Every structure is written in C-alpha cells, then in structure tokens.
Amino acid sequence: MNKLHDNRFPNENSIYREQRDKLLGEELKLRDKLEKVATQRRQLPVGGELPQDYVFDELIGGSIVKRQFSTLFDDGKDTLLLYSFMYAEDADKPCPACNSLLDGLNGSAPHIRDKVSFAAIARAPIEKFAEWGQSRGWNQLRLLSSSGNSYNRDYFGENHDGSQQMPAMNVFKRQGEQIHHTYCTELLFTAPAENQHPRHADLFWPVWNLFDLTPEGRGPDWFPKLNYD
C-alpha cells in the first residue's frame, strides 16, 4: 500500500502503521460511500403529501398552545425534521435510548435550526413531556405532543394499535402550499445482523460512533440508561 500520509505518533512501530494504513484505506472507502449514499438520499423524489394538518400541543410560558403541522416550519425554512420520542401517555419514564439521543441533540439544536426546522414529538401529554425535558436540561429543544392526533401512527412513531412506541426521524419538505414526506430512518424496519444494533439513528447519535473508535467497541451488553451510578 502506498503511504497515505507522513504523520507518525510517538513510539509507534511498523506493524501498527501497516495495519493502521490498511484500516485508513477502508475508512477512505467508507467516507466515499457515505457521500454517495447522502447524494442518493438528497436526490430522492418527494414522497406522499401530508394527509392532514395535524394539530400538536406545545407548552409556552406554562400554557398549552395548539400548533398545526403547517406552522412548524421556521421562517425562511422549508425543511422540517421531526424525531419521534418514545414516551407513551401512561409511561412513568421514556425510552433510555431516545433520552440519550435527545440529550445530545439538545446541544446541537441551535445549529440544526439555523439551517432547517427541528422538533421532537412524543405521545405523552405535553405537560409530562415538557416536565421530563426540564429535568434533563433540554433548554434548546422544541418539544411537541401528538396525544391528540394520529401522527405517531401514520409516521411510525408507534405501531398500528399504539401499544408500542417506536423511534424514528422523519423529514418533510414544504413546496408552496403543499407539504410532502421525503425521508424516514427505515433501517429500523429491517432486520439487523445477529447482535447488531439496528443503527437507524447512527448518523445523528454520536455515542455509538465514539464507542466504535475504541478497542472495546460498542459491545453486546452496554445500552443507554436514564441515570448512571
């Protein structure tokens, strides 16, 4: 293999460098593949038109405000990302994995919303969802409740009878007066390899990617918790 760069770390040996360069070659291929997939994703035609102007609940200054789907687009932005957060109406606590994901996205939210509109949606009543978000310090996330509409069922934030919540990121595009669905993290619906995480949220959930950099890797036993000792 040709030398890929001249940087060397203190006391590294030739065996390490040979294996690291092989891995670096694979990382280059992976980067190219990620770019090709991202291009293909951007080139998708618009999907189905929004079937109804869903009405969500949002808590503003202690009062519940009704928000139509069509008003969720920030000024000057025609793309909307909605994350379905697994928190059922009668659940005491939300999904630890979804919680981990939103803990990270809270910090990223101002950067995300500088380019596109973004919010998290839960089936739980808005007071309950907002209270949980406050306990986690989510001061940058827009939180909405779908307790009064069928958005979760229609866009796979839950199963067909509502007995099981499901995590999903959906993307919508506004074109004039019409709103179309453009993308969902559908890897969730496919069967992963044995002992493999579904990976449907990998691209926006940095915890797993950081673990992938370590000698231990993700491992089969670790999973996010709401709190750690």
Domains of the chain: 55-186 (3.40.30.10)
- What mean pLDDT value characterizes the chain? 95
pTM of this prediction exceeds 0.75: yes
Q: Are 146 and 56 in contact (CB under 8 A)?
A: yes
Please give the pLDDT value at position 1: 60
Between 1 and 196, residue with greater pLDDT: 196
CA atoms within 13 A on the CB side of 39: 6
- The answer to whether residues 54 and 33 touch, using CB atoms and an 8 Å cutoff, is no
Examine the pLDDT at 214 and tell me if it is beyond 70. Answer: yes
Residue 173 pLDDT greater than 80, yes or no: yes
Neighbouring residues of 198: CB distance < 8 A, sequence distance ≥ 6: 187, 188, 190, 192
